[in-house]
Amino acid sequence: MNLGTARLWLRPGLVGLHVFAVVAVAFCVFMGLWQLGVYDSRQEHERADKQHVPRVALSGLWGPDQPFTSTLNHRPVTAEGTFAPATQQVWVTDKEQNGREGAWLLAPLLVDGDDHALLVVRGWAPKAGEFPAVPQGKVTIKAVLQPGEAGGASYDPDRREIGSVRIPALTNELPYDLYSGYAVSTSASAAAGLDLVPPPEPGDVSWTVGLRNLAYAFQWWVFGAFAVFMWWRMSTESVAAARPKVA
């Protein structure tokens, strides 16, 4: 850029435009970063809410005829009831724990009379075998709720084994009205010497939480890019129009 061109760009009429463009772009960048910070904060708050949910009684939270909603996922509860006979337990195969393949022991817990049952993972064993005895009488266990597992795992009625906690398949095999999800017990008293199954950690928070703020952030940055474009176009047109007069 030669001296004459530089003078055209620094004319009093254009200096104001340059200052306005700098202020506009800086404001758009700042507002975009602020909205991005709000998005991050909402993600952190949602993650904290999922990880610090108080334990409540199952009876006041969820019923056997109600669907399993997202608010129930990973929810710690206390469940009171009576375990069904040991012969009605089921082994859930192909379950890895501490790098080893094994099986979960799944037992129906009668929580509302003799008709409704919540499937409870009592513990993990290196292999499926004989079913251990169930605790007698009414028990209270601590557990974490989980949705039923997907997949087309078939049920073996002779070995009482299934490849996943597939609620619809087990509904046809057990004489109870099953809850639409299951629970992972964290009470050693219900494990019968088996290894407790660590409850899954709450899943990652969906990126859509606070999506509006994320969209606003990109919107401000688009405004900033548009301001740069308009500044460049108006400046170059002004310089081009003024060049013959200088000449």
- How high is the pLDDT of residue 202? 62
pLDDT tier at 186, thresholds 50, 70, 90: very high
Q: Which two tokens stand for residue 101?
A: 């393949």
Q: Would you say 182 and 118 are in contact if contact means Cβ atoms under 8 Å apart? A: yes
- How high is the pLDDT of residue 12? 78
Mean pLDDT over each residue of the chain, to the nearest integer: 86
Q: How far apart are CA 169 and CA 162, in angstroms?
A: 9
User: What is the mean pLDDT of the segment spanning 208-234?
Assistant: 90
* CA nearest to 103, candidates 95, 111, 113: 95
pLDDT tier at 245, thresholds 50, 70, 90: low
* CA nearest to 159, candidates 68, 87, 244: 87
Residues 6+ apart with CB under 8 A from 212: none
pLDDT tier at 52, thresholds 50, 70, 90: low
User: What is the mean pLDDT of the segment spanning 167-189?
Assistant: 91
Q: Which two tokens stand for residue 115?
A: 């008709």
- Residue 193 is inside which H or E element, if any? none
pTM value > 0.95 = no
Q: Would you say 24 and 224 are in contact if contact means Cβ atoms under 8 Å apart? A: yes
